[in-house]
Amino acid sequence: MGYEEVMNWGMITYEVPLKTFSDTYNGKPLMYAGLTSQKNHMSVYLMGCYLMPEIRKKFEDYYKKSGKKLNAGKSCIRFKKVNDLPLKLIGETIALMSVEEFIEFSKQ
């Protein structure tokens, strides 16, 4: 099984379905990535960056090299327009972790 695209928590999420991994801390599916639109900005949530400091460091370094301005929280990247994002980097970061790897890191 792979990640499942669903609407959850008021946003589009890509998550590990409970049928694949049900032993979560809150009984809800594990969110791997998400996309939401707020009043003043949009956000991309990248839980791999949140869980793994080495991925986050690489992500931030490449983001800065892209020439785009990084506006980030712990697990989210905030932006006003899609052109504000280095889309290739976002895609590569999402593709880094298989469902199995994400489950293992989430258990730690």
| pLDDT tens-digit map of 42-96 | 999 999 888 888 999 999 999 999 999 999 998 899 999 999 999 999 999 999 9
User: Is 80 exceeded by the pLDDT of residue 108?
Assistant: no
User: Is 90 exceeded by the pLDDT of residue 105?
Assistant: no
Q: Is the pTM of this model over 0.85?
A: yes
Q: Please state, in angstroms and as integers, the Cα–Cα distance from residue 39 to each residue in 36, 42, 78, following that order.
A: 10, 8, 12
User: Is 70 exceeded by the pLDDT of residue 1?
Assistant: no
Domain count, the chain: 1
Domain that holds residue 26: 4-107
User: Is 70 exceeded by the pLDDT of residue 12?
Assistant: yes
The CATH number for 83's domain is: 3.90.1150
Identify the residue whose tokens are 């400091």: 53
User: Is 70 exceeded by the pLDDT of residue 31?
Assistant: yes
With CA atoms as reference, report the closest residue to 45 among 58, 33, 60.
33
- What is residue 74's three-state secondary structure? coil
Residues 6+ apart with CB under 8 A from 35: 11, 12, 13, 42, 43, 44, 45
With CA atoms as reference, report the closest residue to 32 among 59, 73, 3, 7.
3
